[in-house]
Amino acid sequence: MTTIDIDSARTSDAEHLAAALTERGLTARVVGAGRHVRLATTDGAASVERMLEAWIAEHNLPFVPEFVSEHSIVLRPPAG
């Protein structure tokens, strides 16, 4: 089992993201100041990235996932 921390730009996004990942059968919860989601998964990084990209697209959010390390992802605005 791998733990990945996902840093969201907004508190409300973290809550929705945790719920969406849980609906997909993963273990996810909001931690810290409410902008972080802790994901426990056996899926690889590429699979997690695809899930995040799908969630971002479904909600038409102005973010892209960026891997900071193999255990940390930041959802940030795209470079413009």
Q: What is the pLDDT of residues 40-61, one digit of tens each?
A: 988 877 888 899 999 999 999 9
pLDDT at 80: 62
pLDDT at 17: 93
> How many domains in the chain?
1
pLDDT at 44: 79
Give just the sign of the alpha carbon dihedral 1, 70, 49, 10: positive
* Tokens coding 38: 């802790």
* Regions of the chain short of the pLDDT cut 70: 80
Domain limits for position 65: 2-76
Q: What is the 3-state secondary structure (H, E, C) of the chain?
A: CEEEEEECCCHHHHHHHHHHHHHCCCEEEEECCCCEEEEEECCCHHHHHHHHHHHHHHCCCCCEEEEEECCEEEEECCCC
CATH number, residue 56: 3.30.1360.210
